[in-house]
Amino acid sequence: MLGFSKNNSFKLSKPLFAILVTTIILAILLAIGTIRNFRREQRFMQSFLLDEGLTLIRSFEAGARTTMRHPMMIEDSQPLVTLVEETAKTDRIAYISIVTEDGTVVAGAGGHDIAIDRNITKQVLRTRQPVTIMVPNNGKAPIFEVAAIFQTLPSKEPPMMGMMGRHHFRRKTAQTIQLEKGRAVVHLGLYTAEFIKASRQDITHSLFMGGLLVLVGSAGFYFLFLYQGMQVTRATLANMKLYTKNIIESMPDGLLTLDSRGRIVSCNPRALEFTEMDLAGLKGKRPQDLFAGWPADSRHTQGTPFSYTFVHKDGTEIPVEISSSPLLDDQGNTLGAVFLLRDLRSIRSMQNQLDRARRLAALGKMAAGIAHEIRNPLGTLRGFAQYFGSRADNDDAREYSALMIGEVDRLNESISSLLQFSRPREPEFAPVDPEALLDKTVKLLEYDFREKEIRLKKTVHCAQSIEADEDLLLQVLLNLLKNALNASQKGATIELLCHDDGENLRITVADSGKGMSETEQSRMFDPFFTTRTAGTGLGLAVSHQIVEQHDGHFAIKSQPGKGTSITVVLPKHRTGLRDTP
């Protein structure tokens, strides 16, 4: 809605960007660290379980050797089975199975399915190296299995056994021989619940740390967004304050604001101009205490303007129209009042101009009727005067006849001016060279300047032509120069200037004569108003009419005893009839 709403849009600031990047980097580092820790724990668990499994297998082999050294137990594997079952009762062991090369289970405990590990058995016998796998456990923590070569005694007879030993050695079974030759594999399953639980605890801790990081990052984002939003709001309020201040200060009307007690709080420069006071002299005071005649109940005159006239120290009067309205908060409570002070000088000037135009229109109608009634008898009188002058016998009669003819011509000229004023001719616009127009005007009045011994100084800075009626403008300039001649003394200087300011053509006639008072200036364009005894008072009225027909105006500068400067301001580009076919 406003021009500054785009300059205050929300942007990603550097602190916010830094926090965002830092949070992302920390999240990535946390994820990488969690994965690395998880893998390290997996490797540690496997290494630990492998070492534990191999240790148990070696211990189990040692027990098996001791048991099988007894001569009465060589042909019987029951002691080995018993050893396996007792060993499998340990809390860390899930199952134990001893399988020979031909697939025979020599001993087993814990419910191990040997068929699943046939390939592992063959791999161990082939590579002679331990093999580890993770075995599913029906939805529970998986079982870590270690498969390794199982070997009891080497295949030779101990020295102390004698004949009985040799007899029993020959009666060894095939499975016993395979055990002694290391052609059997022991499958040892170890529980991993504690490791899995610890790993899950680490994962939970990592997730907790990640959640904490997200929470802290989100809180940082939230507070930073709040801070940046506050900055944007502050900037918007500052711009709005500046915007409102500029509007109030550039208002053509005066503005006064009052608090709830009726005391002045603020005002704009236009109001200071009206009151001829500064803000320090107005602030905190009531208008009725400062200005005589100010209504005491002016705050309660909403919708009913009242008039007041400020009088300055130099006597200047400024009439204003004052209207008031209440200041309300968002709940409708009255905070004070606002006064708008409208300058009535221009309005009254326009009203005076309108009244003058109406008077002139009525006067013009009357003048047109009178002129028609007078012009015909004047023609008859002039003809008779010429006739009697031509037949006169003495010089006095001829002199009186010439005097009558001159007076009739002067009266006829006044009637022509009156007709021009009452029924102005429509301008015939065409390109006019300003310099040529001024040269023609000076040439027509050259004799008058020489006769009165008045010097004319012409200065022309107008190169571009304008659209105007040359004859009507010539009439305006002749009237102005004749008035300047009549107001100037012998030996004076009259200036004729032409200046192009880019938009307007300004033609100035300045003299150093007696000048005009403010009253004379206010009536100088009224018909029949003149300060000369021989004047008709129609020259400036007709000139004003012609300039208005050209969409121009007059600029007057005059002081009694210091001369008069009258400038005709004509627009270079017309907006009226120029484009009309």
List pLDDT tens digits, range 435-483: 888 888 888 888 888 888 888 888 888 878 888 888 888 888 988 888 8
How are beta strands 504-511 and 493-500 bridged, if at all? antiparallel
Residue 546: Cβ within 10 Å count: 24
- Whether 391 shows a pLDDT value over 70: the answer reads yes
What mean pLDDT value characterizes the chain?
A: 77
What's at 31, amino acid-wise? Answer: A
- Whether 169 shows a pLDDT value over 50: the answer reads no
| Closest among 243, 287, 295, 233 to 261, alpha carbons compared | 287
Residues in Cβ contact with 34 at an 8 Å cutoff, skipping those fewer than 6 apart: 202, 203, 206, 210
Sheet strands (E) in 260-316: 264-267, 306-311
Residues 129-158 as b or e (16 or more Cβ within 10 Å = b)? ebbbeebeeeeebbbbbbbbbbbbbeeeee
94, 189 in Cβ contact below 8 A? yes
pLDDT of residue 513: 85
Give this prediction's pTM.
Answer: 0.40
Helix (H, G, I), strand (E, B) or coil at 509: strand
pLDDT: is 80 or 234 the higher one?
234
Q: At 350, phi and psi to the nearest 5? A: -65, -40
Quickly tell me which residue has 């022509």 as its tokens.
416
pLDDT of residue 567: 92
Name residue 563's beta-bridge partners. 559
DSSP-derived letter for residue 123 is H
Q: Give the range among 8-12, 40-44, 105-109, 524-528 with minimum mean pLDDT.
A: 8-12
What's at 404, amino acid-wise? Answer: M
Residues in Cβ contact with 35 at an 8 Å cutoff, skipping those fewer than 6 apart: none
Quickly tell me which residue has 């400062």 as its tokens.
290
pLDDT of residue 168: 42
Residue 353: Cβ within 10 Å count: 11
CA atoms in the 13 A half-sphere facing the CB of 118? 5
pLDDT tens digits for 64-91? 777 656 544 444 456 777 777 777 777 7
